[in-house]
């Protein structure tokens, strides 16, 4: 289970072995034993050392988000697994250029997921023209599918990805209420929709990072984004196929988008932040067919991380899940 704390004045406390979130209003919410992560999305929340110790002892990760919705850092329990051997193989395959196979699959799955998300929204919002745009993006995905992984250099992949992204975000901008000021994806823009995307993706990055660590992978050694000190490249790379699942939940709710508000600094107001976090968590707990079974998206991310770790150790073919139409 994932829990987000967005209300200013909230406190995380521990008493008699029970973790509780106490809101400013006095409302108390018990943190269930199966909680995996608590996302602190407000700068005006407090937690005691006792609560922190209890959370870590139960394997709960605390993700701290900044005012813009970006991930500032994590407080996490120690992870025990075969980290050393997996990370050595991870580095070896990246240095040998073999990770281009993974990079190609991640971008292919992202683009195919974008196409399927537009097809989903075409039906959900009764916008039939979105289906045609989805098929147009399908043709871009086909180029990636037919590409030999040995030719999948980051520059070429990013060029194809950028073309698909332009088609995708143009379509989403067209169905977004005009008063939001959303004209396309822009991380630095201060409109409420882009701010909502920044926050939603930060939640996704937190879940992906936890999954990669549990699988024994090094989040800093990416397969697409260049190695850079302080940048968890693999987190961003591995998040790509799952972003369309976040997008479809957000853009299917045009009334919610219309009600989002930002302050003078371009940051979401507390009530809007709460709305976006609820949608992001709903997206991560939504079920999809996955390799013969129905699973929540956050479980799919965990299983796919283990499959990636297995590929780094053993090699062979590699494929990654993508968001279906339904």
Do the Cβ atoms of 39 and 206 come closer than 8 Å?
A: yes
Gyration radius of the chain over CA positions: 20
**How confident is residue 23, by pLDDT bands cut at 50, 70 and 90?**
confident
Residues in the chain: 326
Q: What is the pLDDT of residues 25-45, one digit of tens each?
A: 878 888 887 788 888 887 778
**How confident is residue 231, by pLDDT bands cut at 50, 70 and 90?**
confident
Of the candidates 242, 230, 240, the one whose C-alpha atom is nearest the C-alpha of residue 283 is: 242
The CA-atom distances, in angstroms, between 299 and each of 181, 193, 287, 321 are: 34, 27, 9, 12
Q: Which two tokens stand for residue 271?
A: 């009530």
Residue with tokens 């508000």: 261
Do the Cβ atoms of 58 and 84 come closer than 8 Å?
A: no
Q: Give residue limits of the domains in the chain.
A: 2-75, 83-314
Pairwise CA distance, residues 100 & 102, whole Å: 5
Q: What is the pLDDT of residues 83-102, one digit of tens each?
A: 778 899 999 999 999 999 99
Pairwise CA distance, residues 10 & 273, whole Å: 14
Identify the pLDDT of residue 227. 57
CATH class of residue range 2-75: alpha beta
Q: Which two tokens stand for residue 310?
A: 């297995």
- Residue 324 predicted with pLDDT over 60: yes
Same fold, 2-75 and 83-314: no
Residue with tokens 């997008």: 247
What number does CATH give the domain 83-314?
Answer: 1.20.120.920
- Residue 82 predicted with pLDDT over 90: no
Average pLDDT, the chain: 89
């Amino acid at each position: 289970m994932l829990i987000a704390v967005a209300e200013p004045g909230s406190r995380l406390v521990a008493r008699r072995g029970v973790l509780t979130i106490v809101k400013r209003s006095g409302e108390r919410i018990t943190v269930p034993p199966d909680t995996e992560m608590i996302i602190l999305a407000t700068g005006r929340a407090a937690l005691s050392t006792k609560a922190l110790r209890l959370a870590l002892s139960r394997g709960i990760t605390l993700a701290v988000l900044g005012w813009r919705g970006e991930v500032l850092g994590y407080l996490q329990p120690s992870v025990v697994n075969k980290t050393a051997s997996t990370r050595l193989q991870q580095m070896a395959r990246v240095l040998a250029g073999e990770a281009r196979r993974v990079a190609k699959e991640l971008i292919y799955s992202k683009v195919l997921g974008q196409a399927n998300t537009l097809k989903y929204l075409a039906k959900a919002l009764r916008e039939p023209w979105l289906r045609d745009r989805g098929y147009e993006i399908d043709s871009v995905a086909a180029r990636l599918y037919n590409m030999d992984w040995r030719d999948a250099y980051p520059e070429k992949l990013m060029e194809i990805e950028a073309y698909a992204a332009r088609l995708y975000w143009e379509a989403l901008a067209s169905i977004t209420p005009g008063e939001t000021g959303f004209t396309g994806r822009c991380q630095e823009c201060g409109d409420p929709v882009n701010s909502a995307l920044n926050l939603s993706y930060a939640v996704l990055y937190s879940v992906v990072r936890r999954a990669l660590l549990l699988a024994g992978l090094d989040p800093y050694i990416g397969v697409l984004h260049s190695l850079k000190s302080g940048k968890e490249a693999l987190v961003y790379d591995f998040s790509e196929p799952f972003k369309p699942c976040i997008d479809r939940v957000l853009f299917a709710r045009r009334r919610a988008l219309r009600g989002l508000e930002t302050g003078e600094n371009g940051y979401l107001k507390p009530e809007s932040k709460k709305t976006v976090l609820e949608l992001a968590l709903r997206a991560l707990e939504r079920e999809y067919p996955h390799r013969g079974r129905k699973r929540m998206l956050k479980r799919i991310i965990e299983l796919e991380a283990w499959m990636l770790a297995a590929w780094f150790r053993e090699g062979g073919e590699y494929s990654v899940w993508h968001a279906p139409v339904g």
